[in-house]
């Protein structure tokens, strides 16, 4: 009876070993590439992840890691995209686009701090990369413009109230409103400066900085 039990265990072990050998990471990668070419990003990501999980001690396939990140980005699995593109950066594989995709994934996931840190690191690593500079400059410009618009809205409302006879430009209400607006313009200026440091020829950033400066000193 004991021999039969041991034989059964041995047979089960052979069966499970057979199942384990059926997981071919190279074939999974190839199937993933086929799914990627067919733009079936969800299936491709599943196959790439399974392949990577069973890759073993062989040298990591940098292209597959990058492609897994791309597929994760396409299916809006942004946490996975950040992870895979982070690995691509560490692997020094297609670093420029990996930085861009990682940053975009962080932004879409609501991680603005991570977005800025990734682009700053990317620019430090690739000082002449215009795409990363433009992306970060656009972010700074948008952030600064939000403060600028708030200040402009305060001034507009104050002018409307003066025209309606609620108070005059000599009254404290008006002075307080203009002071509040100037504080918003002051908050905007550092962002415009950061944008111009990255893209010195950005006319919009120049105009907004000039307008904010004039409003502060006016």
pLDDT of res. 22: 66
Instruction: Calculate helix-pair angle for 172-198, 130-163, nearest 10 degrees.
Output: 170
- Report which of 126, 125, 84, 88 is spatially closest to residue 105, judged by C-alpha positions: 84
Asked if residue 73 lies in contact with residue 103, where contact means CB atoms within 8 angstroms, the answer is no
Mean predicted lDDT score pLDDT of the chain: 91
Cβ within 8 Å of residue 42, ≥6 positions away: 71, 75
pLDDT in tens, 75-123: 999 999 999 999 999 999 999 999 999 999 999 999 999 999 999 999 9
End-to-end CA distance of the chain: 99
Which run of H or E residues covers position 123?
helix 112-125
Grade residue 57 by pLDDT with cuts at 50, 70 and 90. Answer: confident
Q: What is the pLDDT of residues 150-208, one digit of tens each?
A: 999 999 999 999 999 999 999 999 999 999 999 999 999 999 999 999 999 999 999 99
What pLDDT sits at residue 174? 94
The full DSSP string for 34-62 is HHHHTT-HHHHHHHHHHHHHT-TTSPP-H
pLDDT at position 189 is: 97
Place of tokens 């990591």: 60
Cα–Cα distance measured from residue 62 to residue 24, given in angstroms and rounded to the nearest whole number: 18
């Amino acid at each position: 009876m004991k021999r039969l039990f041991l034989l059964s265990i041995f047979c089960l072990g052979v069966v499970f070993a057979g199942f384990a050998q059926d997981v071919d990471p190279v074939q999974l990668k190839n199937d993933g590439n086929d799914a990627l070419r067919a733009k079936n990003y969800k299936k491709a990501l599943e196959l790439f992840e399974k392949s990577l999980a069973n890759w073993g001690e062989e040298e990591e396939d940098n292209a597959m890691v990058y492609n897994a990140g791309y597929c994760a980005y396409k299916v809006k699995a942004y946490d996975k995209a950040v992870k895979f593109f982070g690995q691509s950066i560490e692997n020094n594989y297609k670093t420029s686009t990996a930085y861009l995709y990682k940053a975009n994934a962080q932004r879409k996931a609501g991680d603005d701090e991570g977005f800025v840190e990734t682009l700053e690191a990317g620019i430090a690593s690739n000082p002449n990369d215009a795409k990363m500079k433009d992306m970060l400059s656009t972010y700074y410009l948008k952030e600064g413009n939000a403060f600028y618009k708030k200040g402009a809205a305060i001034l507009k409302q104050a002018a409307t109230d003066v025209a309606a006879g609620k108070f005059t430009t000599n009254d404290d209400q008006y002075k307080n409103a203009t002071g509040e607006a100037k504080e918003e313009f002051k908050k905007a200026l550092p962002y415009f400066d950061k944008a111009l440091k990255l893209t010195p020829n950005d006319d919009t950033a120049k105009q907004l900085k000039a307008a904010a400066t004039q409003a502060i000193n006016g």
